[in-house]
Amino acid sequence: MSLPQDPGPGGRLTAGVLRGRPVGYALAVASVVLALGIRMLLGAAFPAGFPFLTFFPAIIIISYLAGVGPGIFATLLSLLLAWFVLIEPVYSFRLLDGTVMPLLFFLAVAGIDITLIAVMQDALDRLSEERRLTARLYDQQLSLFAELQHRVANNMAFISGLLRLQKRRIVAEPASAANAFDEAVQRIETMSRVHRRLYDPAAANRALGGHLQAMCDELIGLTGMAHIQVHVDVPDLQIALPQLLPLSLVVAETVTNSLKHGFAGQDDGRITITTEPGAGAAVAFVIRDNGIGLPANFALANSNGLGMRIVDGLVRQIGGTIATTNEGGTVTRITLPATAPDSDLDADFETGRDRPGAAVTRMA
């Protein structure tokens, strides 16, 4: 399906095709002179008292093709030529008793013609702009529909991988079935909230920091840990949506892990999200809490925690790296490459740790 396009100057002559061009005034002179020549050549065929008949078509055509300016110029030139050559006494600009009314009548009719043509051209301009806007919106709709299909397929793969991981946990620990399902529901709900926020037209112009802050505030509400403060200090970076979605999920999972495990026995706490430059043009997102920190000899790459495996898979999808350290609490650095990876996001959490070059940095 395609929308019809407006014919350009290379096609048929369209309204206003010569507007703004000096050639419009030259064409006005030529048309008026031609109209005068026809009037003089066929003078006997015209009834007496109608010296302006051949000039009206010239004025209308010039106004249609070249716009109001050349149309007015053609009108004035026609008035002068007809007055000088066709109205008694000829070759003179003397005003007799019967001369004023025909001149005024000619100006009135020509002015009405030019005004109507100008109104028509304005309407055509608006219609043309509406057609262009409709074509752009149609193209955007097709792109968004294709993106939506791609997102839905990836999301289904994400949920499928998540449920398979939860199934493995249940097989290994049957008593944890209820808890595993609760965690799966919470993760899917978090993913749904992230999607709604990213695809909400009202939030389309929201800065990245504002998006992450709002997402973290929702996580605080979901976990009921209002005594923990989350502060986001992130510049308005340009991150493509295929990277922004997994990044948001990684931040959500990391903050959720801190809320659940980082503040045991503490009455208050603080989580901060900042950025720092990485190697080359890369950028690192730093998630820092002032909680109890990681266990001794903790290595992210050897962690069997479901949350860590999900984070690992999401970071690999965007071609990034992740490192976790103890620095007066837990510090997680998620480094994004300068350019997004070409591969699709496949949400493959289960085989990533066996791949060569899995994007996890071992840090104690």
pLDDT tens, residue by residue, 320-343:
888 888 888 899 999 888 765 554
> Position of tokens 């005024």?
104
**Structural tokens at position 59:** 């004025």
What CA–CA distances, in Å, run from 131 to 2, 4, 64, 67? 12, 9, 21, 22
CA nearest neighbour of 305 among 248, 244, 257: 257
Residues sharing a CB contact under 8 Å with residue 19, sequence separation 6 or more, in sequence order: 66, 67, 121
Query: How much is the pLDDT for 9?
Result: 43
Interval 152-207: pLDDT, tens:
777 777 778 778 877 877 888 888 788 778 777 777 777 777 777 776 666 555 67
Whether pLDDT at 296 is above 80: no
Query: How much is the pLDDT for 143?
Result: 80
Interval 23-75: pLDDT, tens:
888 998 999 999 999 888 887 677 666 788 889 999 998 888 888 889 999 99
Where exactly does CATH 3.30.565.10 map onto the chain? 207-354
Q: What CA–CA distance (Å, rounded) separates 60 from 176? A: 85
Q: Of 2-16, 87-101, 223-237, where does the model show the most confidence?
A: 223-237
What CA–CA distances, in Å, run from 247 to 51, 149, 241, 310, 357? 79, 20, 9, 12, 20
Query: How much is the pLDDT for 132?
Result: 92
Contact 359, 343 (CB under 8 A): no
Q: Please state, rounded to an integer, the average pLDDT across all residues of the chain.
A: 78
| Residue 131 pLDDT class (50, 70, 90 cuts) | very high
Q: What is the arithmetic mean of pLDDT over 112-139?
A: 90
Class of domain 207-354: alpha beta
Query: How much is the pLDDT for 232?
Result: 92
pLDDT higher at 107 or 356? 107
Query: How much is the pLDDT for 340?
Result: 59
Whether pLDDT at 129 is above 70: yes
Whether pLDDT at 6 is above 70: no
- Position 30: which residue type? A
User: What's the alpha-carbon Rg for the chain, to the nearest Å?
Assistant: 37
- Position 349: which residue type? F
> Rounded to the nearest 10 degrees, how much is the dihedral formed by the CA atoms of 216, 218, 222, 223?
30
CA 165 to chain CA mean position, Å:
37
Contact 28, 76 (CB under 8 A): no
Q: What is the arithmetic mean of pLDDT over 135-163?
A: 78
Query: How much is the pLDDT for 346?
Result: 44
pLDDT higher at 9 or 183? 183
pLDDT higher at 177 or 131? 131
41-45, 72-76, 231-235, 295-299, range with the lowest pLDDT = 295-299
108-112, 265-269, 288-292, range with the lowest pLDDT = 265-269
How many residues are given for the chain? Answer: 364
53-62, 203-212, 225-234, 297-306, range with the lowest pLDDT = 297-306
Query: How much is the pLDDT for 1?
Result: 40
